[in-house]
Chain A
């Protein structure tokens, strides 16, 4: 490594060429469990797809490795005097990989493309009424009401070149339903730090550094080539890292952290993830389909929910199932979300006797039976957490029947409201409580509450949640958020378990912190 640096430094000194680039001719072999699903940046709203896209395409604003919003293609942004309109100043002198200049037209085109019916990103722009070009480097985004969190929604909305996209006949994101194939699924023309060299779906994607990148002097850019290989099997992925076939893996199974960390030339980098794992309960139904109680819904009694909350030993789950790689919590949001407080995060001590008393007070001294629906391929050790919970709830007389299924079968149960007791994990891409309330607390309507399977419905709370969207007085807004959380906690609407912790395994000479959204941006990676 040092030798290579020296050699290339000598070479570049002789050639007097671009030092920043040639000094770091490093290839990074990177693996994670899944591949990006498509190169079309608006066709899928999914983690691995966005992660790969981030290396080649850029949004107006992006989250850096610590999760902070930083400028990308926009340099300044602020609401105008009209609170419904946000103004974005664009970066000058940016070129797409194909040499086209980046202008306001591209931004207008791309955001409108992302709002089309076949786009997977349209929900993030649901509040947008119009996107307008003001001049070549200024864009206005008009929303249907004041939207104080507009910037948070833009960090995964990638900008494409209008001319190139139209020339390739992919003005609309691909329409899978109508068999629409589309050139933008196979090719990339972004403004990002890396360009696409070759790609075979599910096998191997090769990227190389973009010589004309606008941020050459702003980012380390020490990786000159990226070879990305999805490896689905956890043991195989870890073996590949241990045997030196890859340099960095995401999704290190918690049980293998010690081994990876203990290997001579490897290290594990850990960081909090933007995702909370919890159980949801149907609190509103008159009777449950899967329980053993006739004509009553035991979960509708808050004492039963309190008892269950107390029965779950979060520390044991952390210690044994998660091998210390989790942060037990008493609220369904990660700490970096606006609205989080230490008081909310505190969780009740496990107390089986007190829980049994509560059960008896609610009239269930002999307990009852219930089915728990659990995914088995979605979250870190999801099924093992459910199994552990089954044992813990069994100790207070709740005889849980575990039904673990692949995610494609599990999540429709929540969506179609056909489960009484279920596991769910929730990430907050906007880093604000409103996002959680919109999906998990608001009663289910056409637009809101799509993941609220608890049946909880309170018009006052709904009104409070809706008011958050347009409340520009941040102090008042935060007050409302606190009030809603107080209600959620008082109702024990959900049984929070923990916040997930991310682990990346990598070569010892790499210096690269974990990003809370599990999105490595390789332009930030440096070598020790």
Chain B
């Protein structure tokens, strides 16, 4: 909102650090620190495996859970490592209430969650960084307007912003396009609720950077403002942006799950991990624990590995903490 918030963000993620991190990465402190921390190596490995299984879900998954016609309702509620009493079909991790293979559904759901999370963060980053650069570099009334808009945005907690935007999006889109558009509405809703962090950090960093000699020099030799912003200031604020992006990714994935709880997440016919958890929680008392537990563990593994990574990145990029 005003300088205090940037100051706090800056405290934990100072802009000047990024100058170091742009040096050859193999020799860098980053790589050194990475190799030294087994938890981070494990987190990175888990994250890599999850991303890979999401990408190759169509190859890895034994069934095609997003094709309703391929499902047999009678397979519903099959326990893990057991065969169904009616059909005799066998499922490694059991099936859900619609007879979908849990393993395949989780792989596909992971794909949806990651897609929503990553795309939403990219969208937020693009928007936030652009507005932050403009705001910080130009200052004056432009800065004022952008920061006031950010205020309005911050007045609503992110989960509410996403909920409201999702409601509007669903209302505006014509019914025949709703199926394809639903996921994009979700992405834009989550993305729009996260851009402010990026904008504020980049704005603060830009305000610091633009006073420096190299920018002043750029002015003198007649570089355009856009060119200075994109070619010179932007690379120097990417460090903190990277940290925020990592943390935002975890936030976005969890936000999507929370939206599912509120009934506005990914549709049940093409569920995300959050949708699966929301379905599974109905069965917490009835003994079908696998419908809740497996997607929850997958979500935990995903968000935890991203968070650990982000945490570590922040510490490493902040020389004051070393």
Contact = CB atoms under 8 A, between A and B. Distances in A.
* Chains A and B share a contact (CB less than 8 Å): yes
Interface in A211-257: 234-235, 238-239, 242, 253, 255-256
B97 A320 contact: yes
A313 B286 contact: no
B281 A235 contact: yes
Contacts of B288: 255
Interface residues of A, number: 37
Interface in B42-74: 67-74
Contact of A235 (B67, B71, B284): B284
Interface in A406-427: 406
A333 B10 CA distance: 67
B285 A317 contact: no
Interface string B76-93: 110000000000000000
Interface string A354-396: 0000000000000000010000110000011001101110110
Nearest to A316: B73
A402 B267 contact: yes
B115 interface: no
Interface string B87-129: 0000000000111000000000000000000000000000000
B140 interface: no
A383 B263 CA distance: 12
Contact of B74 (A320, A399, A404): A320
A132 to B, nearest CB: 50
B263 A387 contact: no
Interface in A249-285: 253, 255-256, 258-259
A495 B285 CA distance: 33
A289 interface: yes
A204 interface: no
B282 interface: yes
Nearest to A253: B282
Interface string B253-297: 000000000010001110000000000011111111000000000
From B67, B97, B281, residue with most partner A Cβ within 10 Å: B97
A99 B279 CA distance: 52
Given A290-B175, A371-B175, A391-B71, A320 B269 contact: no
A462 interface: no
Contacts of A406: 263
Contact of A387 (B67, B176, B269, B284): B269
From B68, B72, B76, B281, residue with most partner A Cβ within 10 Å: B68
B178 A403 contact: yes
B151 interface: no
B19 interface: no
Nearest to A402: B269
Interface size class, chain B: 20 to 34
Contacts of B178: 371, 401, 403
B179 interface: yes
Interface in B162-188: 175-176, 178-179
B192 to A, nearest CB: 22
A401 B179 contact: yes
A321 interface: yes
A20 to B, nearest CB: 39
B293 to A, nearest CB: 15
A243 to B, nearest CB: 11
Contact of A321 (B68, B97, B179, B286): B97
B98 to A, nearest CB: 5
Nearest to B264: A406
Given A290-B176, A388-B98, A259 B287 contact: yes
B76 A376 contact: no
A402 B175 contact: no
Interface in A86-128: none
A487 interface: no
From B70, B76, B98, B269, residue with most partner A Cβ within 10 Å: B269
A319 interface: yes
Contacts of B287: 258-259
A235 B288 CA distance: 13
Contact of A392 (B73, B269, B286): B73
B268 A387 contact: yes
Nearest to B178: A403
From B77, B176, B286, residue with most partner A Cβ within 10 Å: B286
For the complex of A and B, 6 pairs with smallest distance between CB atoms: A394-B69, A320-B76, A255-B286, A391-B68, A316-B73, A391-B71
5 contacts: A255-B286, A259-B287, A320-B74, A371-B178, A384-B97
